[in-house]
Chain A
Amino acid sequence: MDASGFLDLFLNVDVAKRYLPQLLHGAWVTVSLSVFVVLAGLALGMALALVRLVSPRPVVWLLRLGVDCFRAAPPLAFILLIFFGLPSLGITLSAYWVLWLVLTAILAAFAEEIYWAGISSIHKGQWEAARSTGLSQAQAIRLVVLPQAFKLCVPPLTNRAIAITKNTALGTAIGMPELLNEAQTAQSFSGNATPLILASLGYLLIFIPMMMFAARLEKRMRWGTSR
């Protein structure tokens, strides 16, 4: 294949122009879903870690089992299970919300473990000192333990959040019009590889800055804790 033939199939300007609006719409769906997943997942994970902190043993045991399920099974297995299973119970959720639900649950499970590791790493003396100054247990958690724990949690949390956000591409398996799905549709209509190449570039444009941001945050946090 000569160079112009290659460009024609892989970087075709006409095709790119024609399908750019769909691809941008797909990118927007990918980004908005990612934001919802990260916000809900991190909050739910924190709630679960706090529940674990104050719960009796059997509850903790159940919680850990549930968390491990979401950490261990492949996300796509849960997505298919929920997407195809719920309608038979008379509940219909759109592909968007199925994906949101599953990815949020998975991120919450990983986040709970990370927060928990952070909370457990705070020295017992910190708790005792906080309580002995007259702070209640809730105040000790909120004002003394969590701020210190959170610092340790930031690097693993950002890495995990990015890894799980990339799973929004799984939406294409249940026909959700996110970036990858729009690119596949555009490719089959145009008979041209350009939309997929553009989508790949789109993912790089979304995720490389996020990874760089995470790396910077990690460096700052490490510096902060060593002081």
Chain B
Amino acid sequence: MNALIDQFFNLDVMRQALPYLLKGLLITIVLTAVLAPLGMVTGLGLALASRTSHGPLRWLVRAWVNVFRAMPPLVLIILTFSAFPFLGIQLSAMTCVILGLALNNSAYYCEIFRAGLGSVPPGQAEAARSTGLGRFATLRLVVLPQATRNVLPDLASNTIEVMKSTSLAAILSVGELLFAASTARSVTFNTSPLTLAAVLYLLILIPAVRLSGRLERRAPVTPH
């Protein structure tokens, strides 16, 4: 029992490691703040492209989504990190993490927005157009607000997944929370920094998970 406390819940070690872990947490938050909007914008763009009447474009989007959803995000990160140097392009580890995860996220956000756009009855857009709104104004003022509201729970839970996936950056030694913790572990020969990292993740993500669960249970608002 003492060995367990000493190895996993050693407060002295945690106190020493805390400043480093907080710095790592900041990078985790920055990564999430970059990746989530990036994924949403590209995902929305792809979703809109998948609804055009242009056949090859639709096919391209389907292929994009299937490929980047099927590949584990870590494979995408390692592929960008290890394959680009063979082309004579040296990218920083941070860039590779952002690139790899953005490709993966874009596919997931695309599927969510596609479902959202599909949930808005076509009559809404037709009515908006017949009042004299342009195509873009119809999308921005009428279709998108309803589409987004209908898939809000999915957007929330996917954004939680984005934050969790930033931990993969640790494998390329990008100094986010998990990397800071595993460095602290190898310096102190003690597992407590990893416990502390898990606790920090949970402090942020458990409220987020509960909140998104509550969004899910609320009945979706369907316009008539």
Give chain A residues whose Cβ lies under 8 Å from the Cβ of B182: 80, 84
Across the interface, A10 reaches (CB within 8 A) one of B71, B86, B198, B206, namely B86
CB of A35 closer than 8 Å to a CB of B: no
Chain A's nearest CB lies how many Å from the CB of B213?
Answer: 8
| Known A74-B168, A85-B194, A169-B72; further 12 A-B contacts with Cβ < 8 A | A68-B210, A72-B160, A72-B164, A76-B170, A77-B181, A81-B8, A166-B73, A173-B170, A200-B71, A200-B75, A208-B67, A211-B69
CA A200 – CA B88 in complex, angstroms?
21
A71 vs B171: C-alpha distance when bound (angstroms): 21
- The answer to whether B7 touches A88, judged by C-beta atoms less than 8 angstroms apart, is yes
Residue of A with least CB distance to B8: A85
Distance between Cα atoms of A167 and B171 in the complex (Å) = 14
Q: Which residues of A contact B178 (CB under 8 A)?
A: 74, 76-77, 80
Name which of A40-48, A55-63, A191-199 contacts chain B: A191-199
Residues from chain B with a CB closer than 8 A to the CB of A192 are 86
The reply to whether B70 and A72 form a contact with Cβ atoms under 8 Å apart is no
**At the interface, yes or no: A78 with Cβ under 8 Å from chain B?**
yes
Task: Choose one: B7, B74, B164, B198; the contact of A169 (CB below 8 Å).
Answer: B74
Cβ contact of B78, chosen from A74, A81, A90, A180, cutoff 8 A: A180
Q: Residue A39 at the B interface, CB < 8 A? A: no
Is B208 a contact partner of A203 (Cβ separation < 8 A)?
Answer: no
Main secondary structure of the interface of A (DSSP, over half): helix
* Distance of B165 from chain A, by nearest CB (Å): 7
Q: Does B201 contact A (CB under 8 A)?
A: yes
Query: Chain B residues near A193 (CB, 8 Å)?
Result: 82-83, 86
Majority secondary structure, B binding face: helix
Beyond A1-B88, A173-B171, whether A197 also contacts B194 by CB under 8 A is no
Q: Establish whether residues A211 and B70, one from each chain, have CB atoms under 8 Å apart when the complex forms.
A: yes
B residues 159-175 near A (Cβ < 8 Å) are 160, 164-168, 170-171
A-B contact pairs, 28 of them (CB 8 A): A1-B88, A9-B86, A69-B206, A73-B164, A74-B164, A74-B165, A76-B170, A77-B194, A77-B197, A77-B198, A81-B191, A81-B194, A81-B195, A85-B8, A89-B3, A166-B72, A169-B75, A170-B168, A172-B74, A173-B171, A180-B74, A187-B82, A192-B86, A193-B82, A200-B71, A204-B70, A207-B71, A211-B69
Count of B interface residues, CB-CB < 8 Å = 45
Q: Is the CB of A81 within 8 A of B168?
A: no
* Tier of interface size on chain A: 35 or more
Give the distance in Å from the alpha carbon of A167 to the alpha carbon of B207 in the complex. Answer: 24
Residues in A3-27 with C-beta less than 8 Å from chain B:
9-10
Contact A180 B75 (CB under 8 A): yes
A173-B11 Cα distance, complex, nearest whole Å:
27
Interface presence of B219 (CB below 8 A): no
Q: Could you say which of A72, A76, A78, A88 contacts B205, with CB atoms under 8 Å apart?
A: A72
Within 8 A of A (CB), among B72-114: 72-75, 78-79, 82-83, 86-88
Let me know if A148 is at the binding interface, CB within 8 A. Answer: no
Instruction: Tell which of B73, B166, B167, B209 touches A72, judged by Cβ atoms closer than 8 Å.
Output: B209
The answer to the question of B60 belonging to the interface, with a C-beta cut-off of 8 Å to chain A, is no
Determine the chain A residues whose CB is within 8 A of the CB of B82 once the complex forms.
184, 187, 193, 196
CB–CB A196/B70 < 8 A: no
**CA separation between A113 and B79, bound complex, in Å?**
34
Q: Is A184 touching B209 in the complex (CB atoms < 8 A)? A: no
Q: How far is the CA of A204 from the CA of B68 in the complex (A)?
A: 9
What 0/1 pattern do residues 88 to 101 of A give for CB contact below 8 A with B?
A: 11100000000000
Neighbouring A residues of B83 by C-beta, 8 Å: 10, 193, 196-197
B202 at the interface (CB under 8 A from A): yes
Complex Cα spacing A32 to B7, Å: 32
Given contacts A78-B198, A81-B191, contact A71 B4 (CB under 8 A): no
A80/B66 in contact, CB under 8 A: no
Report if B185 contacts A (CB, 8 A): yes
Residues of chain B within 8 A (CB-CB) of A84 are: 182, 185, 191, 194
Residues of B within 8 A of A169 (CB): 72, 74-75
